[in-house]
Amino acid sequence: MSGVDGTGAAGGSSGSVVRRILLGSQLRRLREARGVTREAAGYSIRASESKISRMELGRVSFKARDVEDLLTLYGVTDEAERAALLGLAREANVTGWWHSYGDVLPGWFQTYVGLEGAASSIRAYEVQFVHGLVQTEDYVHAVVTRGQPDASRAEIDRRVALRLERQKLLVSEHGPHFHVVLDEAALHRPYGSRAVMRGQLRHLVEVSEWPTVTLQVMPFSFGGHAGESGAFTLLRFPESDLSDVVYLEQLTSALYLDKPDDVAQYERVMERLHADSLAPEDSRELLAHLLQRL
């Protein structure tokens, strides 16, 4: 797992989301191999078909009794195999650090924070604003205030603290490699005062030199480019049996794509963005030039 021990954003609890997804996918494979419908599986644990679907997608916690009953239904009698899957269920129920921010963190985004913390590689394209993992505190405050105009000061402070906690991931001992492509529009769109934007640009110059960060800018001068569908993130994990995930954020929910064909299409777009954007050194020069003009 990526991260350090403790309760920080890169804590080991991030892996609980990945373990939930792994366990869910294994239960799905066992059910399908046995020819059991979701409805029948739900009936066996006194639950609905939709509950089985959520379990198999790794979107809910697991009760040991439910897992035991499902394994029996699926014909899993080997004690070692049962013990391994039940152990995975226990690990999957570890509470993540982000749950303490449940008052300002929607459920659909909790999944992403867990996946982000467990990833070995994060590749992102951002167009609206600077990516959250490399925002300064003042910039975060400006973004949150703009996006939540009716929020109280206390709520704004909580949202800012949450984002800053996530950023600890990039400086953790075993954190992921972060490769971000920022559309030049994100660098020109003001959030906060000129001083806030200057501070943000200086920070981007600094983080672009970190060994775990690759930062590129897609310049206006290139014209139309491969990222026409908007912002997206590609997550890769150290577990070989867990596929890459594409994260697409919406206003009130998010999409998590892991089908090979879907992921492959986004992989191709990301590769084109990497090839067509300014090289990291040239991106740093552009950032420095914009900073001088502010």
Which DSSP string corresponds to 225-260?
-TTTT--EEEEE-S-TTS--EEEEE-SS-EEEE--H
The reported pLDDT for the residue numbered 258 is 86
| Domains parsed from the chain with CATH numbers | 12-92 (1.10.260.40), 101-293 (3.30.870)
CB-side exposure of 43: number of CA atoms within 13 Å?
5
pLDDT of residue 13: 53
Beta carbons of 172 and 14 less than 8 angstroms apart: no
For 135, residues 6+ apart whose C-beta sits below 8 A from its C-beta are 129, 143, 163, 167, 200, 203
Residue 203 sits at the vertex; the CA angle it makes with 216 and 125, to the nearest 5 degrees, is 30
Exposed e or buried b for every residue in 179-211, given b needs 16+ CB within 10 A?
A: bbbbbbebbeeebbeeebbebbbebbbebbeee
pTM of the model: 0.81
d(CA 26, CA 7): 29
Taking alpha carbons only, the member of 201, 205, 224 closest to residue 215 is 205
Task: Give bridge partners of residue 215 from the DSSP assignment.
Answer: 180
- Helices then strands, counting H and E runs in the chain, come out as 12, 6
In the structure encoding, which two tokens stand for residue 165, read together? Answer: 């906690």
- Predicted confidence at residue 164, as pLDDT, reads 97
User: pLDDT 10s per residue in the chain (294 long)?
Assistant: 222 222 333 344 556 888 888 889 889 999 999 999 999 999 999 999 999 999 998 888 899 999 999 999 999 999 999 998 998 898 888 878 888 998 999 888 888 998 898 899 999 999 999 999 999 999 999 999 999 999 999 999 999 999 999 999 999 988 999 999 999 999 999 999 999 999 999 999 999 999 999 999 999 999 999 999 999 999 999 877 788 999 999 988 899 898 899 999 999 999 999 999 999 999 999 999 999 999
Query: What are the angstrom distances between the C-alpha of 71 and each of 55, 60, 85?
Result: 13, 18, 9
**Helix H or strand E encompassing 74:** none
169 close to 117: Cβ distance less than 8 angstroms: yes
Q: pLDDT digit string (tens) for 149-207?
A: 999 999 999 999 999 999 999 999 889 999 999 999 999 999 999 999 999 999 999 99
